[in-house]
Amino acid sequence: MAKVHVSTTINGEPSEFLCEPNDTMLDALRGPLGLTGSKEGCASGDCGACSITVDDNLICSCLMLAVESEGHELRTIEGMAQGEKLHPLQQKFLEMAALQCGICTSGMLVASDALLKRNPKPSEEEVRFWLAGNLCRCTGYDKIVRAVMDTAAEMRAQ
Amino acid sequence: MTELRYLAPNSLDEAIKAFAAAGSAGRILAGGTDLLVQMRAGVVKPGLIVDIKKIAEMTEIEQTADGGFRVGAAVSGMALHDHASFGKVWPGVLEAVNLIGSKQVQGRASAGGNLCNGSPAGDSVPAMVAAGAIVTVQGPDGRREMPVEQVPAGPGRTNFKPGEILVSFTLPPRPKGSSDAYLRMIPRTEMDIAVVGLGVSLTLKDGVCTAARVGLGAVAPTVLLVEAAAKALIGSKLDEAALNAAAAACSAACRPIDDKRGTIAYRTKVAGVLLKRTTAIAAQRAKGN
């Protein structure tokens, strides 16, 4: 199969890669682009471990073709920290032990970040509904929800 | 293995030409939340994917001069949610579209894809049927319009002709005192497929229902327009007798299957229950309009 050349922007950096027409964005991220922070949990859009944003829109990268990224702005978990400085959500997840095995964590962080950008003051119910598409098989949901709520409160206070 | 080609044309004419030429090997890509899963599972092996999201008409939400809406077939649930006025005019359609999958799925999935996927349990379809949406489709022989309820032909099948692509939904202007609602029965609160889904759109004048449409999903091979239920509501003050008659009409319209989500008896009963609950929500909203 002929490879397709794709030009896109990932975490603010212009990026080019080659892919097969039926590769998913997740395949491209974890393969040629070497960005393995996005995880493959289910590959069917159910688990959210591969969450990224495309033009600030939260999606599952396993449900997008890599070729579709041409000309768009993607953000992945790798773009969340500023150098060595963790994003407040990342810091809070660490402090509150809002992760166990860690497979769901990058998806949880990307999804939570997308929520707080849209809604800096979510209710607990809104956090839970927003994260309903992110599955944690360690079932550590309470700590995750509390970490997101605490981060939101801290970010509002700043 | 046949080679897969991907096209993302800027014009509808170009998309139709390529899609029609590909015949049964062609697949339309909007949000891809069904297509990519089907490809992954090996259920479909397309030779050509036509991505319609670069065609402006497919991704636009437009309020028409008469107060109606035209929603492009590839508009995502999140884009519809974020529109300034759509959800105020059509809260039932919006809540139905927004029930499809997670926030991540909402970022991609469209009402157009939900309709074309042909699932009897698609959440947006009963609400669109209740709303009286007209779809615009275009194919090699030109453009035509059809009522949304005429699109599904059976599970996974539509009445589109070969080479035809769904372009948009047109929702009519709303008379004063109108609103709509959609409810689905699932055994949990989120992320599930409807056991029964029901949409109601109605107009009230001085407490009397002057117009109504009822769409019913997941209880037959296709989503149904239940005209007998609407007839029972129209002319009434939505009193108990009228609601009972409309509920009975919904139950009578059911031709469901037994499956792991629900039995025939359960689905048939719940269809009537949902008619009453959904009508109550739509009526409450209509009073404020």
| Domains of chain B: residue spans and CATH | 178-287 (3.30.390.50)
CA-based R_g, chain A, Å: 16
What phi and psi, each to the nearest 5 degrees, are found at residue B158?
-125, 170
Chain B residue with CA closest to A111: the answer is B104
Whether the per-residue pLDDT at A113 is higher than 70: the answer is yes
Q: Assign residue B60 a region: left if phi > 0, alpha if psi is -120 to 50, beta otherwise?
A: beta
> Among B51, B48, B190, which residue's Cα sits nearest to residue B108?
B51
Rounded distance between C-alpha atoms, residue B131 and residue B216, angstroms: 12
CB spacing of A57 vs B39 below 8 angstroms: no
Using 50, 70 and 90 to split pLDDT, how confident is the model at B190?
A: confident
- Mean pLDDT computed over A34-47: 97
Rounded distance between C-alpha atoms, residue B115 and residue B145, angstroms: 15
Q: How many other C-beta atoms are found inside a 10 Å radius of the C-beta of residue A53?
A: 22
Rounded distance between C-alpha atoms, residue B275 and residue B256, angstroms: 16
Whether the per-residue pLDDT at A74 is higher than 70: the answer is yes
Q: What is the pLDDT of residue A2?
A: 80
Q: What is the pLDDT of residue B71?
A: 98
Q: How many other C-beta atoms are found inside a 10 Å radius of the C-beta of residue B132?
A: 19
Q: What angle do CA A25, A31, A36 make, to 5 degrees?
A: 85
Which residue type sits at A22?
N
Q: Does B5 touch chain A (CB under 8 A)?
A: yes
- Mean pLDDT computed over B177-197: 92
Q: Of B94-98, B191-195, B202-206, give the lowest mean pLDDT range.
A: B191-195
Rounded distance between C-alpha atoms, residue B90 and residue B92, angstroms: 6
CB spacing of B103 vs A67 below 8 angstroms: no
Q: Does B4 touch chain A (CB under 8 A)?
A: yes
Using 50, 70 and 90 to split pLDDT, how confident is the model at B2?
A: low
Whether the per-residue pLDDT at B1 is higher than 60: the answer is no
E strands, B47-173, are 48-51, 61-63, 69-72, 134-139, 142-147, 152-154, 157-158, 165-171
Report the share of chain B in percent with pLDDT over 70: 99
Q: Of B70-74, B175-179, B186-190, give the lowest mean pLDDT range.
A: B186-190
Using 50, 70 and 90 to split pLDDT, how confident is the model at B167?
A: very high
Largest pairwise CA distance in chain A: 53
- Mean pLDDT computed over A126-154: 97
Q: In this predicted model, what pLDDT tens digit does every residue of B239-283 receive, in sequence order?
A: 999 999 999 999 999 999 999 889 999 999 999 999 999 999 999
Whether the per-residue pLDDT at B115 is higher than 80: the answer is yes
Q: Does B76 touch chain A (CB under 8 A)?
A: yes
- Which residue do the tokens 């899963």 mark? B37
Whether the per-residue pLDDT at B44 is higher than 60: the answer is yes
> Among B168, B120, B128, B179, which residue's Cα sits nearest to residue B145?
B168
Chain A residue with CA closest to B108: the answer is A59
Q: What is the pLDDT of residue B188?
A: 83
* Residue in A1, A24, A63 nearest the CB of B33: A63
pTM, two decimals, is 0.96
Whether the per-residue pLDDT at A1 is higher than 80: the answer is no
Contact residues, chain A, for B49 at CB < 8 Å: 21, 65
- Mean pLDDT computed over B167-180: 98
DSSP class of residue B116 equals H
DSSP class of residue B2 equals P
Report the share of chain B in percent with pLDDT over 90: 96
